[in-house]
A and B are shown apart, each in its own frame.
Chain A
Amino acid sequence: MSPTELPQGLSAADFLPLERRDHAQGISRPSRSYWQDAWARLRRNRRALASLWIIVGLLAFALVGPALWRVDPARQDIDQISQGPLADRSATVVAPYAAWNGQAAAGYENGSGLRLAQAGNSQAVRLIWDAVPEASALRLYRNIFPVEADMAFGLPIAEFASGAAGFYEDRLDLRPGTYHYSLVALNADRSLSTRYEVLEVEVARVITLDEVRARALVPETTVLAEGDAVNLALHPLGTDYLGRDMLARLMAGARVSLFIGIVAPVLYVLLGVLYGSTAGFLGGRVDQWMMRFADFVVALPFLLFMILFQVVFGIGPGESGIAPMLAALVLLAWPATARLVRGQILQIRHQAYISASRLLGAPDWYLVLRHMIPNTLGVILVTLTFAVPSAIFTEAFLSFIGMGVAPPTASWGSMSNEGLATMLTHPHELIFPALFISITVLAFNLLGDGLRDALDARMRSLE
């Protein structure tokens, strides 16, 4: 075989360099970046997407809400204390309250026994009665349930030292509805006798003209006369035990809860990532020492440090404890993230593609930026979304035990605490803040779950 002879089927042209071309290989589908891919997968996860929208909605509730619902969350509407959502709020305008001397009003002069001296309303219920023979004293009771044979008279309102005719004006927390007043004769030893009279009183809600003006219930120009009907201030979600608007308080509370819930985790996850990646990348003795320090921080008690920070920050009583709470969360909660990131970095460091990249001469910064961070980002983001609900929960818990916001500032936690006392009678005061905490925590958890699936680089092979 002579050296000039080419093998069969080959020509000299086959040995010329190819012309440079842009596309060495044709790609049939459009290239998608890691993020596009993750987003596409997240979008297919309906739970995660719904959670995302809920979170957007909550942010809007906290940030835009107060601009739309312009009610001062600290303002007390004394006329509507512990009012349920969508309660009837009509009232009749009446004359201002005036002291009463026991005289029956026109139309109420006649009658016997326990009777009304004028129509009962939420300003006052005025009762008069005739002498009760052989009674050494009288006690007046009020009940919201009918008095039956068991003589459960309800609340003891007043006591009178003799059985003589008398009068009494009841102004205690009168709400629209029916009340059953009982006048019971007492025996000489102050025990209840079996002689009593019951009077059923309908109470209508009233308001004075001054109060209408002070609360700005009608426009300045409206002329009102006694007997006109007005509507009390609107509270879509009801009011709390001091008559404060629940909706406005929930919005104000959302700001506190979401601020802590988002700022604290962002800060401490960032700190954890920096710390963990440094430790993991440097490795060896430095890594050992850094991780022992992280273990030490884990052992520090959160509540104690929270109190110490309050002292250090000079937070006096009655001032908001949000700043020390943030500091304590950031300074004490990072080790979990740091450990996670360090583990990831250690793992990635020994991956073949890192070695390959190193072999091709990639510098350290390139390795970190191009290979390590993108590969841990999924873990970091997932940690972040799971850290948010736990921070919100911590805030709620601390405000619940009175270490968070100072009154009158609201937070969901402090609102839950306040609602607890009235749980049985006015459940909406507890249910609403608790519902918001639950929904927020659930939404962040579900989103975190979805993100974990979407951002896991190894899941891409399944597509």
Chain B
Amino acid sequence: MPHSHSSDDSFARSAARPLALFGGAAVLALVLLMFLLDFLAGLASAGGAGTATGVDVERQEITVYLREEPPQLNSMLATDAVSGMVLGHVMEGLLRYDENSQIVPGLAERWEINGTRAVFHLRENARWSNGEPITAADFEYAWKTALDPATASQYAFIFYAIKNAEAANTGSLPVSEVGVRALDARTLEVELEQPVAYFDKLVAFVTYLPVSAAFHRQMGERYGADADTMLYSGPFMLTSWVHGASLRMERNPHYWDQDRVRLNAINAAYITSDSNTLLNLYKDGRIVQVDLSAEMLEGAMQQRWHLDRFMDGSVFFIDFNHRPERVTRNLNLRQAMQLAQNSNELVDRVIKLPGYLPAKSLFPVWLQGVERPLREEYPAPEAPYDVALAREYLERARQELGLTQFPPLVLLADTSPVATISSQYYQEVFKRNLGLDIIIDAQTFQQRLAKMDAGDFDIVLSGWGPDYNDPLTFADLYASWNLNNRGRFASERVDALVRQAQSSTDNAARMAAFGEIQQILFDEVALIGNYERGRVYATDPRVKGILRRVFGAEVDYTNAYIEVAP
């Protein structure tokens, strides 16, 4: 039917012009709307007096981010780094670390540790944020409550150096038997199980923070769950906590050392761990500091940002499952895997972030020995990268295990970008060099720990950050009784050495013990070192004095100040 055809065509032709006009008008209207909204948004933000800026010079405020929401801020229960960071600003204990990671007086103006007896003398002007004095009883209460089995504090073991603490925590003695006593309002006496060389460093840990007894009893379960259900002893206090959205810390007028604090407020306005979001926030001047990932470095150099780096003190390594049913219990297999990889390549070529160091030992390079760094006094034994030798060990392992072929090994890793890339790197390295099939089991951090507890892995990309400034915080990781020894590595010699390091006050003997532990862990291939973690970060040039720390708050804004260009 040619007739209908042509009528269709003519219809299309006649409709085309109005359609084109309508389309053009619609696009134009949208563009105009866009400009209008942009203009209005500009007006609105100008009216808001710059609340969105990272640095508020007038009010002496800075805006920062948190990687995630703190689960709660009860110092007796805190385990994670974000809680530690917030608590590092709003709370202060007896002692604290200074900018060089040395112990300095906090709420205690002086202290004596003689053998098994330690006495702390509190400052006269130590005050809670409601103006009431902080007493020795507040410390006694906090420590005993944390040790109470009913509290179920995961970090209760940090008190085990104190007399009867372990017994009280396991329930075999009442908490009142623990060797902590407030002699008077300003004197705290601690009895230790045995002399502990590093007790002052333990006291600076977050679980040792004070808690006002009366206030805690009044709040009950709600203590530390909101801004107004806590009392603060630190340079700042929490004035607002919008769950899942923001936190605000303001200067604490009752803090004893007002000279140390120059900012009026720290606004943790963003809670996100997405590195691209954070980068954009920093680019827009909405936050004062941002950590950079390897892909961002080129852009940062192009923007001509001033970069800094910092080693956060933690060590990451491949940990093995030593449970009887696992092939990774076989020493030759572990030895083969150690010889078939090269952590230099991982750090220099794959992770490619300055600040990262190849890990050669469980003990990171920064730990202090007797006079020089521990790793200089006891150099870490190094395995060569030797694929041929590795294959010989693998063959021996195969024969010992009576296998025709190795089963696929489950590599447990968490979902952080560096863990993801490392796990894929090792998957191919072990496949190429040893012919081992690796199945990557990527889990969230919490889930990774749960699976490690359950022994649901062959090898795992694990890591450890120090709790206090002593090599023991790493050394006891492979003690057979340590709950963090999730691969169930067991060596009587290591256990004995750890006990010796715990009880001895002879520094040289302790360091020798650590050196021997390092050698045993290498000989037994208890772990394969991956990297010591570093951070590269950019800081707003107007803000000075932000500290990155290994102990205490990982980012410390307490001493920060805003420097206005002349």
Contacts and interface: CB of A to CB of B under 8 A. Distances in A.
Interface of A: 74-76, 78, 81, 142-145, 148, 150-157, 171-173, 191, 241-242, 316-319, 402, 406-408, 421-422, 424-426, 461-462
A335 B404 CA distance: 49
Interface string B30-57: 0000000000000000000000000000
A462 B9 CA distance: 12
Contacts of B347: 172
B350 A81 contact: yes
A145 B302 contact: yes
B354 A156 contact: yes
30 contacts: A74-B428, A76-B428, A78-B345, A78-B350, A81-B350, A142-B354, A143-B301, A144-B298, A148-B304, A155-B536, A156-B307, A156-B308, A157-B354, A171-B348, A172-B352, A173-B294, A173-B348, A173-B352, A317-B439, A317-B442, A317-B443, A318-B441, A402-B442, A407-B423, A408-B424, A408-B427, A424-B296, A425-B295, A462-B1, A462-B4
Interface in B491-540: 536
Nearest to A244: B428
Contacts of A81: 349-350, 352
A171 B306 contact: no
A156 B537 CA distance: 10
A291 B424 CA distance: 47
Contact of A318 (B305, B345, B439, B536): B439
B425 interface: yes
B373 to A, nearest CB: 11
A155 B345 CA distance: 19
A462 B301 CA distance: 65
B424 A152 contact: no
Interface in B298-342: 298-299, 301-302, 304-309
A461 B428 contact: no
Interface string B124-165: 000000000000000000000000000000000000000000
Given A151-B306, A153-B307, A242-B425, 6 more contacts: A75-B428, A150-B304, A173-B352, A316-B439, A317-B439, A422-B295
A144 B306 CA distance: 14
A13 to B, nearest CB: 41
Interface string B267-301: 00000000000000000000000000111111101
A318 B410 contact: yes
A421 B417 contact: yes
B260 interface: no
A414 to B, nearest CB: 11
Contacts of B4: 462
Contacts of B306: 151-153
A186 to B, nearest CB: 12
Interface in B424-453: 424-425, 427-429, 431-432, 439-443
B424 A407 contact: yes
Contact of A242 (B295, B307, B348, B421): B421
Contacts of A316: 439, 441
Nearest to B275: A421
Nearest to A425: B298
Q: What are the 3 tightest A-B residue pairs by CB atom distance, in nearest-first order?
A: A152-B304, A318-B439, A173-B352
Interface residues of B, number: 46
B258 interface: no
Query: Binding site of B, secondary structure by majority: helix, strand, loop or mixed?
Result: helix
Given A173-B349, A422-B295, A156 B421 contact: no
B344 interface: yes
B17 interface: no
Nearest to B100: A190
A399 to B, nearest CB: 13
Given A76-B425, A154-B301, A317 B441 contact: yes
A144 B301 contact: yes
Nearest to A124: B348
B59 interface: no
A156 B309 contact: yes
Nearest to B309: A156
B344 A171 contact: yes
B5 interface: yes
Contacts of A317: 439-443
Contacts of B345: 78
B214 to A, nearest CB: 42
A75 B411 CA distance: 18
A461 B308 contact: no
Nearest to B346: A78
A171 B347 CA distance: 10
A150 B295 CA distance: 23
Contacts of A143: 301
Interface in B1-38: 1, 4-5
Contacts of A424: 295-296, 298-299
Contacts of A408: 424, 427-428
A4 B471 CA distance: 134
Contacts of A155: 297, 301, 307, 309, 354, 536
A144 B443 CA distance: 36
